[in-house]
Amino acid sequence: MRGKKGGVACGDHATIKTTAPGQGVIETIEPRKTLLYRSDAFKKKIIAANVSQIIIVVAAVPSYSEELVNRCLVAAESQHIRAIIVLNKTDLVEPTQNAANALSLYESIGYPLVKISALRNISALKPFLKGNLSVLAGQSGMGKSTLLNALIPDAQRATADISTALDSGCHTTTHSHLYHLDDQSAIIDSPGIQAFGLHHVDNEDLAQCFIEFRPFIGNCRFHNCRHVNEPGCALIHAAESGKISTRRLVFYQKLLQKN
């Protein structure tokens, strides 16, 4: 950047001016179509710009955070970014089956659930990548770097052994990096995340980021219903009648309190 640092995200389209062989400065950044980032009350951390798709990578070992999955989905919906969930490490048959059963909830409401083993076969994922700028997101230890190595052998991303004692992975990616898959497709590898702040999503907009809630929003007795314990709440009634998942409603209420 000319005269300052920061402000540029992986995936940005920029105009540059060459200053020397192999060197240049960024003159302008073109308007972004999307911006994926996380935030708390004090700062925001940009993950990637102009992505059309977020790939949330989870695995049964080490255990994944379902709250983090929900937070990633909310962040994607707030920016109108398509989201898919990739369940990695299917070679671990029994744990993966249990995870698949839990994640079937998200498949039932419209999010693709793609099951792969990054060590053995990733063919099920490849059709989703075509024509997209995708970003990999997820906790450390879910196998994002191994998946990237399978997609782009030349990437030579470092992989780390899982710390079974801590039930977590080791951080191997320290910054976002874009790789071209072909002329129309690219993928961004991002650092592993253990928390995904959503301070930038207004509480009034949070329910809209739960896609299965949308048909019921606006039907509550009170126009300013928060969908927590208000009488005549259409979302609570929908959960009680099995039209939406109580589990997702509880996640929404939890996010509402933390946000």
> What is the overall mean pLDDT for the chain?
88
pLDDT for res 160? 42
Does the pLDDT at position 186 exceed 50?
yes
Residue 119 has pLDDT above 90, yes or no: yes
Collapsing DSSP to helix, strand or coil, 19 comes out as strand
Q: Give the position of tokens 């929003």.
A: 217
Residue whose entry in the numeric block shows the structure tokens 């879910």:
142
Better pLDDT: 172 or 226: 226
Q: Per-residue pLDDT tens for 130-182?
A: 999 999 998 888 999 899 999 988 766 444 443 444 454 444 445 788 999 99
DSSP letters for 44-100? EEEEEES-SEEEEEEESSSPPPHHHHHHHHHHHHHTT-EEEEEEE-TTSHHHHHHHH
Among the CATH numbers 3.40.50.720, 3.90.230.10, 3.40.309.10, 1.10.40.50, which is that of 203-258? 1.10.40.50
Scanning the chain, the segments in alpha helix (DSSP H) are 66-78, 93-108, 126-129, 144-151, 203-206, 234-240, 246-258
Residues above pLDDT 70, as percent of the chain: 89
Could you state, in order of their start, the residue ranges of all structural domains in the chain? Answer: 35-189, 203-258
| Strand 23-29 to 14-20 pairing | antiparallel
pLDDT at 167: 54
Query: pLDDT of 211-222, one tens digit each?
Result: 999 999 999 999
State yes or no: pLDDT of 50 exceeds 70. yes
Regarding the domain delimited by 35-189, which CATH topology (the fold level of the hierarchy) does it fall under?
A: Rossmann fold (3.40.50)
